[in-house]
Structure 1
Amino acid sequence: MASRPNVVRRLRRGLLAAVVAASVAVPLAGAAQASAVPAPAPAALGPLTAGGGEAELTHRYAANRAGIVAAEAMAAQYGDRQRAAELQELAQSDRQFLSFDGRDGGRTVEVFGDLATARTVAVYVPGSDTSLSTYDRFASGAQALEAQLGGDAAHAAVIAWLGYATPDTVSPAVLTDGRADEAAPVLQDFVRQVQAFAPAARTSVVCHSYGSTVCARAAGGLHVADLVLYGSPGVGSDLANVSGLHTTATVWAGRASHDWIADVPHLRMPVLFTTLGLGTDPVTPGFGAHLFAAGDGGHSDYLKPGSVPLRSIAAIVSGAADHRPTSS
């Protein structure tokens, strides 16, 4: 009779093979349709300026609002009423976009709170299936975290960073860390800009789902207070523990008890010219992350208003969380 480890290994490989087969079989027409909606080139604003203050933010917000309005008009002309309506919402006068690019599914960076006066800053990195078509869900999470931190009265800002092409949940791309490799240096550069702009602020990076793979890839260049990985499919590469991230940040990890991501095989397997799987689960005992209370919600419930994980994550980025080791 086969040993239990061998049985588990075969089951995991079989499950991964099934996921691969399903991913390859799913048509990618939906992604192509979102990318096909035309949009103008983004405003050429350059990086954030150290000491730019409120004046720079006001200029950026206005320039990107104009870009969103232009993209809305182009989408309407193209006949995509849904995209035009989505962009109309983003163009509201109270929205604060540091950058906006409506092409290829969309790239946006939006601020919730006052970045010019913030003493606490969280950069929120999303996971798969995040684009202009699903942006409301992403923005709602950032808004909930900023509200949990106390809003403007607490001088906290949350930056929703949709700065990369997120993979589709059911696609070959989500099974590899290729998108994370592409996104990591972009995230590193952006966080450096934020820290130069607001050098006195306590900055953390909050990473959901595939976004945690992006953050793990970027960790060595993220000189932040905290790195928060949750709902993670894996940290990529063949990392066995936190030391492999080469970061000075305190690394936190959490997974809700009803998150389906727990059933994803946390392994890596060479296949043809690539490696499938995203490696170690950061909540694994021995990885060395500080575990936080993540409640009993599902994969999309971590930043739900009033939830246990939202309170936990807000405590971490504010510096109020208990830093005693909770994993060995």
Structure 2
Amino acid sequence: MNRLWIVSALLVTAPALWLFGPTQADVPALPRHQEWLADARQLPDPATATPGQISTWFAGLPPAHADELTRQYPEVIGNLDGVPVSRRYAANHDPARPGRQILALDRRGDGLAAEVIGDLATANRVAILVPGVATELANFDTGLGGVRHRAPAWQARQLHDQARALAPGTPVAVIAWLGYDTPDGVRREALREDRAATGALALERFVAGLVQDRPERQITVIGHSYGSIVAARAASRLGPQVTDIVAIGSPGMGVPDRASLNTSARVWAGSAPDDWIRRIPGVRIFGIGHGRSPIDPDFGALPLPCADTVGHDGYYQPGTSSLRAMAEITLGRGAA
């Protein structure tokens, strides 16, 4: 009888633990991490060294030594926050993508990538685009399902073009940042925030690396759909250089209101009138769901105009008020 009770209890609790268990956050090791650590030159551990420590260490390397490390460990150097941008571009050079500025590239699993549009060396205004569910390296350029306007690389170009059109003389850069393993679909992983928690840790390090040599740089983080939860989880630790956080097509940001984000950044939220995300209940129970929608007036976010935006993936379409507003915000203005 006791054995039967134990089996019955396991049958009930195992699915519950799978669905409602504690949120886990752990940034995966960089490619060739162990090989790098085993190097006799006692190289810094990418898992524990801060971007600031990496920056200081790299600045002290003789140029020949830096060149040698880049040739020997391009997968590490190209993804190591704190390494100079130009060095990461060189490490991530891909003959299949000539002329592109790839700031991160990891081909393992679903893959990770970050591409810069604009001149990051001179840009004092930077936008980071954080994508959502089912975005992976295979559709980074082409878009989920082959739909171009779903592609992070395409979206970044639209935002950069719009910002340059509004302020031709302002140095601005836009980064398409696929720096975390997104949920594979609208299933368990999308209902929970484990992937967002891991993504937030990676986003924090990425932002810290961007401001090592330019502490005066001002950054806007734009999270689309599940990406808005990544931005929310990171918000309190992103630093004062992040002046704005924008949530578009958000299912909720995992908190009841804007104040709970614990950030000095302006927080904006917008959703297309026909975005299916609006039908998701604004609840959060035992870690399932993402809470109140940030477009709810009671959340307290600033409204992002989206009246002429169509669908869940139309926010970067040229000519839309949402694209113009995000460009204005990136430039340090309002969302008029």
**Alignment TM class, shorter chain as reference:** 0.7 to 0.9
Equivalent residues of 1:118, 1:198 under 8 A apart: no
Shift of 1:243: 0.9
2-side partners of 1:111 and 1:299: how far apart?
Answer: 24
The structure 2 residue matched to 1:62, chosen from 87, 90, 95, is: 90
Residue correspondences, number = 252
- How far is the alpha carbon of 1:130 from its aligned partner? 0.6
Q: 2:191 is matched with which residue?
A: 175
- Aligned equivalents of 1:135 and 1:322: distance in 2? 27
Which letter does structure 1 place at the counterpart of 2:137?
A: L
Equivalent residue number for residue 9 of structure 1: none
Q: Does 1:299 align with 2:312?
A: yes
Give the corresponding residue for 2:324: 311
Give the aligned partner of residue 264 of structure 1.
280
Aligned-pair identity (%): 41
SS in 1 for 2:256: coil
Alpha-carbon offset, residue 153 of structure 1: 4.7
Q: CA deviation at 1:200?
A: 2.6
Unmatched 5+ stretches in structure 2: 1-14, 20-30, 34-73, 142-150
Say if 1:195 and 1:203, in contact at 8 Å, map to a contact too: no
For residues 170 and 287 of structure 1, the distance between their equivalents in structure 2, rounded to whole angstroms, comes to 24
Deviations 1:231-270 (A, max 9, x none): 001111xx22111100010111111111110011121223
* Aligned-partner residue type, residue 284 of structure 1: D
Q: What is the match of residue 120 of structure 2?
A: 115
Q: Deviations over 1:28-80 (max 9, x none)?
A: xxxxxxxxxxx98862213224xxxxxx4333212101xx45xxxxxxxxxxx
CA pair 322-313 structure 1, distance change in 2 beyond 3 A:
closer
Runs of 4+ in structure 1 displaced over 3 angstroms? 39-42
Is residue 129 from structure 1 mapped to residue 143 from structure 2 by the alignment? no
1:36 is aligned to none
Q: Which has the higher helix share?
A: 1
- For 1:153-172, what aligned pairs fall within 5 Å after superposition? 153-172=169-188
Report if aligned partners of 1:115, 1:198 keep a CA contact under 8 Å in 2. no
Post-superposition CA distance 1:262-314 (Å, at most 9, x none): 011121223xxxx3211121111111110110133111000112211000111
Unpaired runs of at least 5, structure 1: 1-19, 25-38, 50-55, 70-87, 324-328
Query: What corresponds to 1:230 in structure 2?
Result: 248
Shift of the alpha carbon at 1:221?
A: 0.6
RMSD: 2.2
Task: Report matched runs for 1:68-217 at 5 Å.
Answer: 68=94, 88=96, 92-136=97-141, 137-150=151-164, 153-217=169-233
Distance in structure 2 (CA, Å) of the matches to 1:95 and 1:40: 24
Contact 2:246 2:267 in 1 (8 A): yes
Are 1:48 and 2:85 counterparts? no
SS at 1:313's partner residue?
A: helix
Question: Structure 1: how far apart are the matches of 2:269 and 2:156?
Answer: 18
Counterpart position of 1:77: none
Report the TM-score, using the length of structure 2 for normalisation: 0.71
Letter in 1 for 2:75: A
Secondary structure of 1:225's match?
Answer: strand
Task: Give secondary structure in 2 for the equivalent of 1:174.
Answer: helix
Could you tell me whether the CA contact under 8 Å between 2:304 and 2:335 is conserved in 1? no
Tell me the CA shift for residue 322 of structure 1: 5.3
